[in-house]
Amino acid sequence: MGLMAFLPVLALYIEEEFEISDPQQVAMWAALIFAVGPFTAACMGPIWGELGDRYGKKRMAVRANIAIAVTTACMPLAPSLTWLLAIRVCQGMFAGYVAPVMALGTGQLPRYVHGRVIARLQTAMALGTLLGPYLGAEITGLFGRSALFWVASVFSLVSGIWLNVRVVDVPPLAAARRHSFFGGFWRACKSMLGNRVLATLLLLVMVLRLGQNIFEPMVSLFVRELGPQSVLLAISASKSLAIDRTIALAFGVLAIAQWFCTPIWGRMADRHGPLLCLIVLSMALAVVQGLTALVGNIDQFLLMRGVCACAMAGSMTLAFAAMSKRVPDEHRTLAFALVQSCIQFGLALGPLLGAFVVRSDDGPDFRFAFVVGALLCGVAGTGMLLLRRVERRPAT
């Protein structure tokens, strides 16, 4: 909830705080600062995952919360865009929160319920995604945008303290510490990435996430271009507040869809297999992303955003569940970290690709990002369909 209080309006904070008047420059800096956090997190994720398998998932989760709290508190103190970028780099390097939490949640539970358990954790994250943007809009109206970073820092610190006090970790398996850290890390990564099915699955998850997140940092700019939602404009004291509330609604529909649809995707994964569900999800996203490029007003955009959110709700759950069914228990945190790294690479590279494709001589054309996103989701779905056929083919 704290992170989602400031991430949706990061582009507006950059524009206002550093007084940038060129829309394309705002889009470029927003995409870069948004993306560099998940990019560095993706690079460091497997290392934190191996440390979690060796020394405890709870320690990694608490460490990540404290790191997020410290770096977020430093963001409003950044005197320039370069410093803000550097702080995001540090935040990404020392975060790595999702993978140990997913591993903590599944623990020693049987694999046939992992889809539902991961879906419940995703639903909890969805509640934060729902409340965060609305909290951010109201905090901005009362105290200004800089206050959003302090709120996020406090919330992350409280989460870390609560985890440390309340959560009981499963002791690491002895097999995870049989070798030295670097030796074990190398063997585990080589084992998983040497499996062509697992390596291809990770690549396709990254492509799917690339298409899914190509537009996220520019949502606030596109909403401002379309204008505020009429009902929110009528109940807001100013147009700027109405735009902030419309941006919150655009992200809120994602959370509402996650709240209702993620458990459904989890049950479907346990019943029909997560890979088959990922194929259906990818193709659905491709169609909806393409249709979103045709919207003509803010109500149409919010409607398509809601439909798209129903499919997006299951992507992370299904990716984790698909990997969980294919790796040994002693390397589960590392496997989840690899999945999270691929998701983070997609989250990082997607905005950069989006900032590139929307550039034009007449100003950014945000609709191109939806078209490219649709193509990427279609490629991911087709690749997963072929992968499933290869995996089901009897060995010769």
The tens digit of pLDDT for each residue in 276-293 reads 999 999 999 999 999 999
CATH code of residue 318? 1.20.1250.20
Residue with tokens 């083919």: 393
Under the banding of pLDDT at 50, 70 and 90, the label for residue 177 is low
Span of 48-62, 178-192, 207-221, 286-300 with lowest mean pLDDT: 178-192
Tokens, residue 211? 């298409």
- Cα separation, 19 vs 45, in Å, equals 34
Is residue 202 situated within a structural domain? yes
> What mean pLDDT is reported for the chain?
83
Span of 48-57, 80-89, 116-125, 324-333 with lowest mean pLDDT: 324-333
155 burial type by CB count under 10 A (0-12 exposed, 13-18 middle, 19+ buried): buried
Is residue 72 situated within a structural domain? yes
Tokens, residue 293? 């490029």
- In this prediction, residue 179 carries a pLDDT of 59
- Could you tell me which residues come within 8 angstroms of residue 162 by beta carbon, excluding any fewer than 6 positions away? none
Higher local confidence (pLDDT), 203 or 324: 203
- Please tell me the total count of domains within the chain: 1
Question: What burial letters (b/e) apply to 311-339, b meaning 16+ CB within 10 Å?
Answer: bbbbbbbbbbbbbbbbbebbbbbbbbbbb
pTM of the model: 0.67
Which residue from 336, 396, 393, 348 is spatially nearest to 114, judged by alpha carbons?
336
Percent of the chain with pLDDT over 70: 92
Torsion angles phi and psi, residue 224, rounded to 5: -65, -35
Which residue from 300, 205, 202 is spatially nearest to 250, judged by alpha carbons?
300
Percent of the chain with pLDDT over 90: 24
- Cα separation, 87 vs 384, in Å, equals 36
- Cα separation, 76 vs 117, in Å, equals 36
Under the banding of pLDDT at 50, 70 and 90, the label for residue 326 is confident
Is residue 175 situated within a structural domain? no
pLDDT tens digits, one per residue of 209-227: 888 888 877 788 889 889 9
Is residue 304 situated within a structural domain? yes
Higher local confidence (pLDDT), 352 or 286: 286
- In this prediction, residue 208 carries a pLDDT of 92
- Could you tell me which residues come within 8 angstroms of residue 24 by beta carbon, excluding any fewer than 6 positions away? 359, 363, 364
Is residue 178 situated within a structural domain? no
Is residue 159 situated within a structural domain? yes
- In this prediction, residue 55 carries a pLDDT of 78
Tokens, residue 176? 């995870």
**In the predicted model, what is the mean pLDDT of residues 40-67?**
82
Under the banding of pLDDT at 50, 70 and 90, the label for residue 161 is very high
**In the predicted model, what is the mean pLDDT of residues 176-192?**
66
Under the banding of pLDDT at 50, 70 and 90, the label for residue 396 is very low
Distance of CA 123 to the CA centre of its chain: 13
DSSP string, 15-30: HHHTT---HHHHHHHH
- In this prediction, residue 337 carries a pLDDT of 75
Under the banding of pLDDT at 50, 70 and 90, the label for residue 104 is confident
Higher local confidence (pLDDT), 291 or 340: 291
- In this prediction, residue 283 carries a pLDDT of 94
Query: Quick check: 395 pLDDT over 60?
Result: no
Query: Quick check: 201 pLDDT over 80?
Result: yes
Rg value, the chain, Cα: 20
- Could you tell me which residues come within 8 angstroms of residue 361 by beta carbon, excluding any fewer than 6 positions away? none
∠ CA 146-149-48, nearest 5°, is: 155
- In this prediction, residue 172 carries a pLDDT of 67
Q: Where are the beta strands (DSSP E) in the chain?
A: none
Neighbours of 153 (CB within 10 A): 20
Is residue 276 situated within a structural domain? yes
- In this prediction, residue 384 carries a pLDDT of 92
- In this prediction, residue 176 carries a pLDDT of 52
Which residue from 67, 87, 64 is spatially nearest to 75, judged by alpha carbons?
87
Residue range of the domain that includes 249: 3-166+191-392
SS3 sequence of 34-66: HHHHHHHHHHHHHHHHHHHHHHCHHHHHHHHHH
Query: Quick check: 75 pLDDT over 90?
Result: yes
Tokens, residue 149? 């970073």
Under the banding of pLDDT at 50, 70 and 90, the label for residue 174 is low
Is residue 327 situated within a structural domain? yes
